[in-house]
Amino acid sequence: MIRVREIDHLVLRVVDLEAMLRFYCDVLGCTVERRQETLGLVQLRAGRSLLDLVPVDGKLGRAGGAAPGREGRNLDHFCFRVEPFDEAEIRNRLAVHGVPVGPIASRYGAEGEGPSVYVTDPEGNVVELKGPPRGAPVRPVPAGEHDPGRFQRWLDGYGQAWMTGDPQAAVQLFAPSAAYHETPFDPPMVGTEAIRRYWTEGAKNAQTAVQFEATLLWFDGTTGVARWRATFRRVPSRVFVELDGTLLARFDDEMRCEEFREWWHRRES
């Protein structure tokens, strides 16, 4: 049996790439995850999903024929699940960017009946922004999900990836749209490609002789807290670094980290 879980990605053929990037990134909060210039493809992270923008004058775009227009659309509308769904904030955000917005209405979606609103992007595609279903029950935590061993195994994998300088192993511990907060004050790295770059540039290529240990402090089935310590030598200076910190990780149903936050102190010698 084929079981569809959620939208993986949508592909829009676009005329004005920059206008579309401003709308989806500046207005709706998507982020650029990957560009493939030779193909003519920009992939945006939209929560757990991807939105691909294909300029019609690029390699992929030319293969698709004429540009979309008012009388020749290939899509009625698509829907983004928004969390949280704050009507006032949504209206203010759209108004700041000059985007007209219709009335909030209750419509049926993948999770049930709930509030939603329609907006239109710069090239006429209708985008539905949808909130949670009304009266949605809290998902019960199945027996065994509170097992702290699940979090400990994740911590062991995290430490092993760091000590062996393996960005790919680290990426596999995170959900596709994970938010990785290295400090409380800087914006997070979002998505596995951003996390891969961070681990490659900041760990694999810049550290050697890494040692790591973590002590599990708390786990409730979806969120874990741990204290950790690490030592390494910088490359190429050979400066010895000691780190002592705390991390908080929130997980999806498959025990992939969706949100990662850490607070740490450093000593060098």
Question: Which own/partner pairs from 86-91 qualify as long-range (CB within 8 Å, at least 24 positions apart)?
Answer: 87/115, 87/117, 90/117, 90/129
How do residues 58-88 score in pLDDT, each as one tens digit? Answer: 888 887 777 766 666 667 688 888 878 888 8
| pTM of the shown model | 0.50
Give the span between the Cα atoms of 35 and 47, in whole angstroms: 18
How do residues 150-169 score in pLDDT, each as one tens digit? Answer: 999 999 999 999 999 999 99
pLDDT, residue 128, reads: 86
Contacts of 193 (CB under 8 A, 6+ apart): 33, 34
How do residues 93-148 score in pLDDT, each as one tens digit? Answer: 888 888 998 888 888 776 777 888 889 989 888 888 888 887 655 444 454 566 88
How do residues 198-207 score in pLDDT, each as one tens digit? Answer: 999 988 899 9
pLDDT exceeds 60 at position 251: yes
Share of the chain above pLDDT 90, in %: 41
Select from 225, 218, 215 the least CA-distant residue to 249: 225
Share of the chain above pLDDT 70, in %: 90
pLDDT exceeds 90 at position 210: yes
